[in-house]
Amino acid sequence: MHKVNIIDVGAIGGLEPPWSRNRRHVGTVLEFEPDGIERITGDTIRLPHAIWSHNGRETLHFFKGGLGSASLKRQNMAWVREHYEEIKDKGSRRLNRTWFERSTCIRETEIGVRTLDLVLEDLRKRGQGVSPFHFLKSDTQSGEYDVLVGARSYLQEECAAALLEVFRYPLLEGIRLAEEVEVYMASFGFEVIGWSPWQASFESQRDVLFARREPTDAAQAASIEVVKRIYGVGAGPALFSHKRSLVERVVRKARMRLRLA
């Protein structure tokens, strides 16, 4: 059985659906916990870095919204105020009404950031990196483009498919919107093969699934086929859904509380 090695950026709650329901297809998982402790547990490598466009230090902003409400970018209060009347009825009105309160910054801390390319290079120098990691999943609360900028070599040589959270409105300052992310991925030979419905406040964000148009070898091609089966997409681009069940939501919250404690 072909197994896919996964890079999970923004993995604070652990591996999520649909991969958590298909563990037999999962090889090694590389995930990140900013300024935490490096740990290797079974087939999971957890590193104490935030993945970004460069190497250095950045400010992590924590918002009032609850568990997992943090980003290296500030909420774009000015844009939302200016455009609120245009977007207030999209999606959940309850979520939209409380957006400003939930987006209030309650704490900031400085953390270390590294590029994905450097992380992979260091791992392999230490003999810990399993090659290749064919699947990239990134959910960083608006920083996907920044993650990609720091992963040029990975995208060029190793990545076969990716799931990226994208935004259609600039709810955070300085973010690149969905079209820009898709153009950047296309420049490395990737095409869109699936997407989730628009969701969250103002129906502002969704996940987009990419695959390499021309796999470089049989292993990449096999990984792409596994990804398509797991997300339920066929020969052409398709809508998919990977909502968590009630049990999965409870387990994820428990894990997040333990990780953030």
pLDDT digit string (tens) for 202-213?
Answer: 999 999 999 999
pLDDT tens per residue, range 242-253: 654 444 343 444
pLDDT reading at 44 higher than 80: yes
User: By residue range, what is the domain housing residue 156?
Assistant: 4-56+112-253
Residues facing residue 204 across a β-bridge: none
pLDDT tens per residue, range 126-145: 876 667 999 999 988 888 99
pLDDT reading at 48 higher than 70: yes
pLDDT reading at 31 higher than 70: yes
User: Is 166 inside any structural domain?
Assistant: yes
Q: What is the pLDDT of residue 67?
A: 53
| Confidence category of residue 254, pLDDT binned at 50, 70, 90 | very low
Q: In the chain, pLDDT over 70 holds for what percent of residues?
A: 87
- DSSP H or E segment with residue 77: helix 77-87
User: Is 88 inside any structural domain?
Assistant: no
End-to-end CA distance of the chain: 38
- 193 in helix, strand or coil? strand
Q: What are the backbone angles phi and psi of residue 109, rounded to the nearest 5°?
A: -150, 150
| Confidence category of residue 14, pLDDT binned at 50, 70, 90 | confident
User: Is 174 inside any structural domain?
Assistant: yes
User: What CATH number is associated with residue 130?
Assistant: 3.40.50
User: Is 149 inside any structural domain?
Assistant: yes
User: Is 67 inside any structural domain?
Assistant: no
User: Is 200 inside any structural domain?
Assistant: yes
Number of domains in the chain: 1
pLDDT reading at 258 higher than 80: no
User: How much is the pTM?
Assistant: 0.91
221/202 Cα distance (integer angstroms): 37
User: Is 102 inside any structural domain?
Assistant: no
User: Is 52 inside any structural domain?
Assistant: yes
pLDDT reading at 103 higher than 60: yes
Residues 43-57, mean pLDDT to the nearest whole number: 93
